[in-house]
Amino acid sequence: MANALVTGITGQDGSYLAEFLLAKGYTVYGVVRRASTENFERIEHIKHEINFLQSDLLDQLSLIHAVEESRPTEVYNLAAQSFVPTSWVQPVLTGEFTGLGVTKILEAIRLVDKKIRFYQASSSEMFGKAAEVPQTEKTPFYPRSPYGAAKVYGHWMTVNYRESFGIHAASGILFNHESPRRGKEFVSRKITDAVARIKTGKLDKLRLGNLDARRDWGYAGDYVRAMWLMLQQDEALDYVIATGRQHTVRELARIAFARVGLDYERYVEVDPKFFRPAEVDSLLGDCTLAHRNLGWQPQVSFEELIHMMVDADLERHQNMG
Ligand code: NDP
Ligand code: GDR
């Protein structure tokens, strides 16, 4: 059966993709970087089924070794410094992980075996100050953060290795996707975790930034299926993956608080500390191409997603006592 190599396997998407690939019968190899404390919370339940390889996006040789050792038919590059605000604090490091890291993996593939199929985790943040609504594969990029700019570079390198060396390299332009495994600094999880803490008497107020920002939010479990589908096609292309529906942060908060019978207006406060130097006000994706070519469409609605996240956080906080 096929081998798959996944970078970013300890992250939200990596954990869902690993589950998905294992269920399909793949032998899964996961790139992990050494930490003083093991960071396997999201993959605890499947870690005995994964072959871990120590490597880092900053370290070219370790990536070549990872590809040589795993002999994959498919490589999924999910690793990145993925939190937009941190990219203003550490712009150079973000460029090295999120941008140049892509080239390092592509080089490893080119050296070891050009027949390996490659998936790059591109992002709707590349559209930034969006030139049109909704955004498609043809919408020009206008990134608004060092993170977005680094993703644009990684995206174009993926296209270039496809066109220059004939590598089956696909770039998934994924819009925001969330789950109970989302990092707690991202707005959806920050809200659902706070709802659970407020409900269990551990927190009084929730401080947020721009409540009017609009995003096209989907469920991570649906989105990893799209990644895999892209690598099963005869021709590698770029695909927008989105729900085609948009909500504000305010609506997200309202639905999350309402799930436990609370009114968000009593608990949410705006704190300018969370405003960004340049905001991406509005993103909305059009996934017609993915629907047509991949037969992909999202299965979990926005409300179901937020309810799922609130329920999981509430259960966790109740069990913690
Ligand atoms: P997470 O932040 O949850 O996970 C990021 C992963 O990257 C972690 O496993 C992390 O490892 C790893 N990583 C970071 N730096 C390095 C490095 N130098 N070397 C090796 N591994 C590293 O992100 P998500 O799962 O949410 O996202 C997956 C990918 O998809 C990212 O590239 C993200 O930018 C992109 N994306 C995400 C979207 C979303 O809405 N979730 C939308 C569009 C794109 P560690 O555990 O050691 O920190
Ligand atoms: P984003 O996700 O920047 O879109 O990037 P995030 O959840 O951080 O922000 C979404 C929107 O919410 C607004 N916002 C807040 N955001 C955070 N984190 N904390 C707050 O308190 C807060 N208040 C309001 C933000 O200003 C923003 O407009 C995510 C990441 O997963 C990227 O890696 C990925 O590429 C994109 O989604 C698509």
Predicted local confidence at residue 1, as pLDDT: 77
Residues whose beta carbon lies within 6 Å of some atom of ligand 1: 7-8, 10-14, 31, 33, 39, 56-58, 78-82, 97, 121, 123, 174, 176-177, 183
Predicted local confidence at residue 111, as pLDDT: 98
Which of 6, 78, 98 best tests ligand 1's pocket when mutated (most atoms within 8 Å of CB)? 78
Q: Is the backbone peptide bond immediately before 146 cis, with ω within 30 degrees of 0?
A: no
Predicted local confidence at residue 170, as pLDDT: 98
If you measure from the C-alpha of residue 28 to the centroid of ligand 2, how many angstroms do you get, rounded to a whole number? 30
Domain ranges of the chain: 3-177+217-241, 183-216+246-281+299-319
Right CATH for 3-177+217-241 from 3.30.1540.10, 3.30.565.10, 3.40.50.720, 3.40.50.300: 3.40.50.720
- Report whether residue 313 contacts ligand 2, using a CB cutoff of 6 Å: no
If you measure from the C-alpha of residue 213 to the centroid of ligand 2, how many angstroms do you get, rounded to a whole number? 9
Give the residue numbers annotated as catalytic, written as ranges.
123, 125, 147
HSE of 20, CA atoms in CB hemisphere, 13 A: 20
Report which protein residue has its CA nearest ligand 2's atom 37.
Answer: 176
- Report whether residue 208 contacts ligand 2, using a CB cutoff of 6 Å: yes
Superfamily in which the 183-216+246-281+299-319 domain is placed by CATH: UDP-galactose 4-epimerase, domain 1 (3.90.25.10)
Do 73 and 2 contact (CB within 8 A), yes or no?
A: yes
Convert the pLDDT of each residue in 245-287 to its tens digit. 999 999 999 999 999 999 999 999 999 999 999 999 999 999 9
Give the ligand at the shortest distance from the Cα of 11: 1
Give the ligand at the shortest distance from the Cα of 144: 2
Backbone torsions φ then ψ of 308, nearest 5 degrees: -60, -40
Report which protein residue has its CA nearest ligand 2's atom 27.
Answer: 213
State which ligand 2 atom lies nearest to the alpha carbon of 189: 7
Convert the pLDDT of each residue in 132-155 to its tens digit. 999 999 999 999 999 999 999 999
Domains 3-177+217-241 and 183-216+246-281+299-319 share a fold: no
If you measure from the C-alpha of residue 187 to the centroid of ligand 2, how many angstroms do you get, rounded to a whole number? 5
Which residue, 183, 251, 181, 192, is CA-closest to 216? 251
Give the ligand at the shortest distance from the Cα of 78: 1
If you measure from the C-alpha of residue 85 to the centroid of ligand 2, how many angstroms do you get, rounded to a whole number? 8
Report which protein residue has its CA nearest ligand 1's atom 14.
Answer: 80
- Report whether residue 274 contacts ligand 2, using a CB cutoff of 6 Å: yes
State which ligand 2 atom lies nearest to the alpha carbon of 207: 21
If you measure from the C-alpha of residue 186 to the centroid of ligand 2, how many angstroms do you get, rounded to a whole number? 5
| Full pLDDT tens readout for the chain, 321 residues | 799 999 999 999 999 999 999 999 999 999 999 999 999 999 999 999 999 999 999 999 999 999 999 999 999 999 999 999 999 999 999 999 999 999 999 999 999 999 999 999 999 999 999 999 999 999 999 999 999 999 999 999 999 999 999 999 999 999 999 999 999 999 999 999 999 999 999 999 999 999 999 999 999 999 999 999 999 999 999 999 999 999 999 999 999 999 999 999 999 999 999 999 999 999 999 999 999 999 999 999 999 999 999 999 999 999 996
If you measure from the C-alpha of residue 53 to the centroid of ligand 2, how many angstroms do you get, rounded to a whole number? 30
Report which protein residue has its CA nearest ligand 1's atom 9.
Answer: 8
